Amino acid sequence: MSDFTPKKEDHFTFGLWTVGNVGRDPFGEPVRPPLPPIEAVKKLSELGAYGVNFHDNDLVPIDASPAERDRIVREFRKALDDHGMKVPMATTNLFSDPAFKDGAFTSNDPRVRAYAVQKTMRAMDLGAEFGAEVYVFWGGREGTETDAAKDPRDAIKRYRECLNFLAEYDIAQGYNYRFAIEPKPNEPRGDIYLPTVGSALGFIATLDRPEKFGLNPEFAHDTMAGLNFVHAVGQALDAGKLFHIDLNGQKPGRYDQDYRFGAEDLKTNFFLVKLLEDSGYTGMRHFDAHAYRTEDIEGVWDFARGCMRTYLILKEKARQFNADPEIQGLLQELNADPDNLGNLLRAYSRENADRLSAMAFDRAALGRRGYAYERLDQLTIELLMGIR
Ligand code: GLT
Ligand code: MN
Ligand code: MN
């Protein structure tokens, strides 16, 4: 039984923008002072995190001179080295600047699209300087409020061209990034292109180098749309496309809340952690979330501690679930296949088709069967509540 203290090998990471979130919202001003990136590195390392991720401008202010940029990079690298922290992922801010109000890669203005690609090239250079291996594309502004403005086929075509261009840039520079697309259904745009994991998977298949592209799904983004995030992650894993993951907390049907990981819907989060652990996913466990707006800096560190601790507790619960004789017995019964029919369906052959055609099924018996999912779910709930 672990004491749930995070360790480097747990691969927990935080965006600089997460612990650095100042608590601004559409109705209110910041409630916390900006957190210097070097402070974030120091404290997160102390708490047991493996690394930090950043947008280009989280680290280097957008109008910094080359000399300023060099100084910031130098000091940040020293802080990483001093505290044994990594930068496994990097990304571009293609959403804050008013220039991106009609989108970045999908804007109707070709100058904006060109600037967005240039800004991304520079941010890729910066990430590569720190050894980032995953590069995230969150197209927060890639969307519309009115479809009068843009044919969705044009938007998707422009998106594709920009990502193809950047993939070639990556190869020419020898960076070898894995590109991870992060879907979101809406907010800040009325509707965002590539709203779900499934739509991103479909889009990736149309790119010039689909093998370079995968997913960075986020718990809050599927949950706010009422979707089942565990299923989405399962599909990404099945496709070999889970390159990265954003973990946080969210209630369905709300704005993007980005709460502490596990703060909402423990059961779904349990199945999520179990899926990640059972699948042998080796990527980062990235928390893309922030402290409640009520918090001061102490509350921010409580938040960061909580994300990691809850993950580790759920991981221990997953281990218990997999070792629980009653639960495993039920699962074995449920999946029993005395007639070896799973094999029959594994691959088409003339012989299998003939065998299947000749089979008689007792439909009434199939309909009478009870699956005992009530028992199974109650056992899961009791395990989660800590009495098993
Ligand atoms: C922003 C967004 C996140 C994305 C970040 C990466 S930026 O915080 O809400 O979901 O993952 O660009
Ligand atoms: Mn995210
Ligand atoms: Mn979010």
Is position 1 within any domain? Answer: no
Instruction: Mark whether 317 and 332 lie in a shared domain.
Output: no
Q: Which residues surround ligand 3, an ion (CB under 5 A)?
A: 220, 256, 258
* DSSP run (H or E) holding 355: helix 350-358
For residue 337, report the distance from its CA to the centre of ligand 2, in Å: 41
Cβ(243) – ligand 1 distance below 6 Å? no
Instruction: Mark whether 359 and 305 lie in a shared domain.
Output: no
142 and 160 Cβ atoms separated by less than 8 Å: no
What local confidence, expressed as pLDDT, does residue 27 receive?
97
**Into how many domains does the chain fold?**
2
Cβ(246) – ligand 1 distance below 6 Å? yes
What local confidence, expressed as pLDDT, does residue 211 receive?
98
User: SS3 of 381, please?
Assistant: helix
Is position 49 within any domain? Answer: yes
For residue 218, report the distance from its CA to the centre of ligand 3, in Å: 7
Instruction: Mark whether 243 and 348 lie in a shared domain.
Output: no
For the CA of 138, the closest atom of ligand 1 is 12
**Pick from 273, 296, 323: which residue ends a domain?**
323
For residue 272, report the distance from its CA to the centre of ligand 1, in Å: 20
Nearest ligand (C-alpha, residue 138): 1
Cβ(182) – ligand 1 distance below 6 Å? yes
Instruction: Mark whether 336 and 308 lie in a shared domain.
Output: no
302 and 291 Cβ atoms separated by less than 8 Å: yes
For residue 208, report the distance from its CA to the centre of ligand 1, in Å: 25
Please, what is the average pLDDT of the chain? 98
For residue 221, report the distance from its CA to the centre of ligand 3, in Å: 6
What range defines the domain where residue 363 resides? 325-384
Its pTM surpasses 0.75? yes
Instruction: Mark whether 127 and 248 lie in a shared domain.
Output: yes
Cβ(14) – ligand 1 distance below 6 Å? no
Helices (H), 84-227: 110-129, 152-173, 197-204, 219-224
Instruction: Mark whether 188 and 241 lie in a shared domain.
Output: yes
Largest CA distance in the chain: 78
What local confidence, expressed as pLDDT, does residue 1 receive?
56
Instruction: Mark whether 258 and 367 lie in a shared domain.
Output: no
Instruction: Mark whether 340 and 369 lie in a shared domain.
Output: yes
* Residues labelled catalytic: 55, 58
Is position 285 within any domain? Answer: yes
Say which CATH number the domain at 213 has: 3.20.20.150
Instruction: Mark whether 211 and 348 lie in a shared domain.
Output: no
Is position 2 within any domain? Answer: no
Is position 3 within any domain? Answer: no
Q: Angle 152-173/110-129 helices, nearest 10 degrees?
A: 30
Query: What distance in Å separates the CA atoms of residue 140 and residue 199, rounded to the nearest whole number?
Result: 15
- Separate counts of helices (H) and strands (E) for the chain: 16, 10
Cβ(218) – ligand 1 distance below 6 Å? yes
Q: How many CB atoms lie within 10 A of CB 271?
A: 21
Nearest ligand (C-alpha, residue 256): 3
Query: What distance in Å separates the CA atoms of residue 309 and residue 379, rounded to the nearest whole number?
Result: 23
Query: What distance in Å separates the CA atoms of residue 172 and residue 168, rounded to the nearest whole number?
Result: 6
Residue nearest ligand 1's atom 7 by CA:
138
Phi-psi group of 226: left, alpha or beta (phi > 0 → left; psi -120 to 50 → alpha; rest → beta): left
Cβ(287) – ligand 1 distance below 6 Å? no
For the CA of 256, the closest atom of ligand 1 is 9
Instruction: Mark whether 350 and 314 lie in a shared domain.
Output: no
User: Using one digit for the tens of pLDDT, what is the confidence trace for 192-221?
Assistant: 999 999 999 999 999 999 999 999 999 999
Question: What are the 10-residue block averages of pLDDT along the chain, 388 residues in total?
Answer: 90 98 97 98 98 98 97 98 98 98 98 98 98 98 97 98 99 98 98 98 98 98 98 98 99 97 98 98 98 98 98 98 98 95 94 96 97 98 97
Cβ(222) – ligand 1 distance below 6 Å? no
For the CA of 93, the closest atom of ligand 1 is 12
Is position 344 within any domain? Answer: yes
Is position 138 within any domain? Answer: yes
Is position 73 within any domain? Answer: yes
Cβ(126) – ligand 1 distance below 6 Å? no
Query: What distance in Å separates the CA atoms of residue 138 and residue 279, rounded to the nearest whole number?
Result: 25
136, 182, 219, 222: residue to mutate for ligand 1 pocket, most atoms within 8 A of CB = 182
Q: How many CB atoms lie within 10 A of CB 98?
A: 5
**Pick from 323, 351, 368: which residue ends a domain?**
323
Query: What distance in Å separates the CA atoms of residue 240 and residue 276, rounded to the nearest whole number?
Result: 13
Cβ(91) – ligand 1 distance below 6 Å? yes
Instruction: Mark whether 199 and 290 lie in a shared domain.
Output: yes
Instruction: Mark whether 146 and 236 lie in a shared domain.
Output: yes
Tokens representing 162 are 């920009």
For residue 183, report the distance from its CA to the centre of ligand 3, in Å: 10
**Pick from 323, 338, 359: which residue ends a domain?**
323
